[in-house]
Structure 1
Amino acid sequence: MIEDALLRRWRMHSHFGDDSGAGGPAGVARRVAGLQAQDAAAVRRALRVRGVGDPGEPQRALLAGEVVVTWLMRGTLHLVPAEDARWLVGVFGGRNLAGGARRRRELGLTEDVLAAALEVLPELVERPLSRAELVRELRGRGVEVDPTGQAPAHLTAYAAAQGVLCRGAEVSAGQPGYRPLPPGRALAGEAALGELARWHAGAFGPVGPEDFAVWSGLGPTVARRAFTAAGLIEAAPGLFTLPGAEPPPPGPPLERLLGRYDSFLLGYRDRSLMLDPAHARRINAGGGVIRPAVVRDGRIVGTWQAEGDREAVELWE
């Protein structure tokens, strides 16, 4: 049995122990199993606290094609290495397609409209286009997509889940450009699930299959298959990590100021080990919004916010 304090510290070091920023955004994204990316400012912060200090580096890496953004774990946008994007879409694409089917029908995205869009989109994204530009081009070619409301977002998510496109660098302020999903490593089936479980265990471990199920959104049955395929070792009853991984040696506390939606707060089924339930709503008041958090040795001890050029911290303990 691992004592709670050691487990928290071990998990913190798994995720943040190498904060060198080695490999730039692509290297960091692979080490921490992707970064949640629905908020561009939050991605910059997530990379910063993991060693990528230059705020212009994410855009440079996107322009260079080293990383891309697409809908993956839990149907949410993630920044991942470009060479891993295609096999990850293979794992999550079908599930994400099924999850959005009803809403697409409600928005008028019929099977005929979607099929017509998929015929045209590969040609359109040969050059980066914003979502509004994509819809305008589609409509100009007779594909009837309502340019208002949520239809454009659901259309691009559908095409991404089909492996047609992904997000790249911004084409204007706050407007990501869409580009073809790049080629990459050929992984599928159990090999892909095992690789994903290794990513999760390396970034968040020690973890159990129930943690992987919640983090990935793939469900408990698939999670158990993934853990079987991953070749992990048991660090304690029900908790697994990568072969060769060891608890961190004694040392000063490891501390980070995490931004909104930070992936570290989304890697576990039960956050009570890291977040006192009495303070839980101060970090997640409901829905999918995760507030900035102060983390010390794997325990959330406060919140913070930017005030001009400084950071105002509120500690609970």
Structure 2
Amino acid sequence: MTPAQALATRMSAQRLVAPATDLRDVLALQAQDVPALTTAARNRGLSTDGIRTWAMRGTLHLLHPADAAWVVRLLGPTSIAAGKRRREQLGLDDGLCARALEALREILVEPKDRPATVRALAEVGIVLDPKSQAPAHLLAFAANSGVVHRGLDDTYHLLPKTDPQSDTKSATETGTTNGLPDLFRRYLTAYGPATLPDFAAWSGLSLRRVRQEIDPDDYADTGFGLVHKGTEPVEPQRRIKLLGHFDTYLLGYRDRTLALPAEHTAKIQTGGGFLTPHVLLDGLVVGTWREEGGEPVITPFVPARAAELRRLVGEDTR
């Protein structure tokens, strides 16, 4: 597989060539910023219907309802462990957190925004300073515990219940276990070619654990990462996309140099996981863009390509 084929294959896997059928095709979209989520979904032919919750890396993502519960069960413990010290600093000890989970199951029978949730918790003896970070950390803990999720309007809802035994039965029937290897298979379908370090960085799981549970020999090595055996390289098709902040096309990998040349990294990665909106051509980031008067204004890395990129964007939107 050539570098150009690897990029085109990755772009296709991320459903930036042919539209996705539903969220399961892309596994998850980053969702801390709703306008950016809307852009990412639109670029993949999707709506924003789904479950918005803290999942990969303890970051808000949008998942298909069929995936949310098992993904949270798999990834939540890592985020809970990582946040323990900060919760304790905020006075959220294990006992208080356990009581809060039980209370939230009653309080959020009807969705509530954060202030209303904090007031309802206070009424049952769980008092949080609404001006502190305690409410945010407690609700993230509840989400990582599989109790709540956060709507697109920032209200909190109970996570739809699934029976782990039913999940196990369904997984057995489909030949999966809803464990780390299954998450990796789904990730590779939506992100490949990709490496084990890419998957670890995307999921928030330790690379050591990933290497213990994933056998690379079960997959084909393209030289640019793993793909499912039998995956055919995709040829570049002059496909262009205008990607927004927090798009998973770059954030889904630890090593982004295949798609984003090192000399242009600082123009796109501005810190905190924030990405400058960028222009993607056959899987390669070739410039930045912004919206003015409802129209995209493109700033290519190579100025001589400006007219070409504008033409391709015009063709893509027709």
- Fold equivalence (TM over 0.5): yes
**Aligned partners of 2:223, 2:260: CA distance in 1, in Å?**
22
Partner of 1:64: none
Decide whether the 8 Å contact of 1:10 with 1:247 is kept in 2. Answer: yes
- Is 2:115 the partner of 1:132? yes
Partner of 1:194: 181
What is the CA RMSD across the aligned residues, in angstroms?
2.2
For residues 33-85 of structure 1, what are the alpha-carbon distances to aligned partners after superposition, in whole Å with 9 as ceiling and x for unaligned? Answer: 20000011111000111113xxxx42xx3xxxxx2111111111110011111
Taking a change above 3 Å as real, the CA distance of residues 155 and 302 of structure 1, as seen in their structure-2 partners, is: same
**What is the Cα deviation at residue 20 of structure 1?**
2.8
1:47-86 matches, cutoff 5 A: 47-52=41-46, 57-58=47-48, 61=49, 67-86=50-69
Partner of 2:283: 298
**What is the Cα deviation at residue 205 of structure 1?**
0.8
Name the SS of the counterpart of 1:98 in structure 2: helix
Partner of 1:179: 158
1:1-317 matches, cutoff 5 A: 2-17=1-16, 19-22=18-21, 27=22, 29-52=23-46, 57-58=47-48, 61=49, 67-170=50-153, 175-183=154-162, 186=167, 191-228=178-215, 232-237=218-223, 239-249=225-235, 252-317=237-302
Name the SS of the counterpart of 2:137 in structure 1: helix
Decide whether the 8 Å contact of 2:6 with 2:224 is kept in 1. Answer: no
**Aligned partners of 2:152, 2:260: CA distance in 1, in Å?**
35
**What is the Cα deviation at residue 94 of structure 1?**
0.8
Q: Which runs of 4+ in 1 moved over 3 A?
A: 187-191
**Aligned partners of 1:97, 1:181: CA distance in 2, in Å?**
20
Letter in 1 for 2:101: L
Q: State how many pairs are aligned.
A: 294
**What is the Cα deviation at residue 115 of structure 1?**
2.2
Taking a change above 3 Å as real, the CA distance of residues 226 and 258 of structure 1, as seen in their structure-2 partners, is: farther
Structure 1 length-normalised TM: 0.86
**Aligned partners of 1:86, 1:306: CA distance in 2, in Å?**
37
**Aligned partners of 2:288, 2:161: CA distance in 1, in Å?**
38
Decide whether the 8 Å contact of 1:232 with 1:240 is kept in 2. Answer: no
**Which stretch of the first structure deviates more once superposed, 158-167 or 2-11?**
2-11
Name the SS of the counterpart of 1:252 in structure 2: coil
**Aligned partners of 1:81, 1:111: CA distance in 2, in Å?**
30
Structure 2 length-normalised TM: 0.86
**Aligned partners of 2:60, 2:19: CA distance in 1, in Å?**
25
Name the SS of the counterpart of 1:86 in structure 2: helix
Letter in 2 for 1:288: G
**Which stretch of the first structure deviates more once superposed, 41-50 or 175-184?**
175-184
Stretches of structure 2 lacking an aligned partner (at least 5 in a row): 303-318
Decide whether the 8 Å contact of 1:34 with 1:78 is kept in 2. Answer: yes
Letter in 2 for 1:259: G
**Aligned partners of 2:224, 2:241: CA distance in 1, in Å?**
28
**Which stretch of the first structure deviates more once superposed, 128-137 or 34-43?**
128-137
Letter in 1 for 2:207: P
Name the SS of the counterpart of 2:299 in structure 1: strand
Taking a change above 3 Å as real, the CA distance of residues 226 and 302 of structure 1, as seen in their structure-2 partners, is: farther
Stretches of structure 1 lacking an aligned partner (at least 5 in a row): 62-66
**Aligned partners of 2:24, 2:162: CA distance in 1, in Å?**
17
Decide whether the 8 Å contact of 2:27 with 2:64 is kept in 1. Answer: no
Decide whether the 8 Å contact of 1:256 with 1:295 is kept in 2. Answer: yes
**Which stretch of the first structure deviates more once superposed, 11-20 or 139-148?**
11-20
**Aligned partners of 2:16, 2:275: CA distance in 1, in Å?**
22
Taking a change above 3 Å as real, the CA distance of residues 289 and 146 of structure 1, as seen in their structure-2 partners, is: same
Name the SS of the counterpart of 1:285 in structure 2: strand
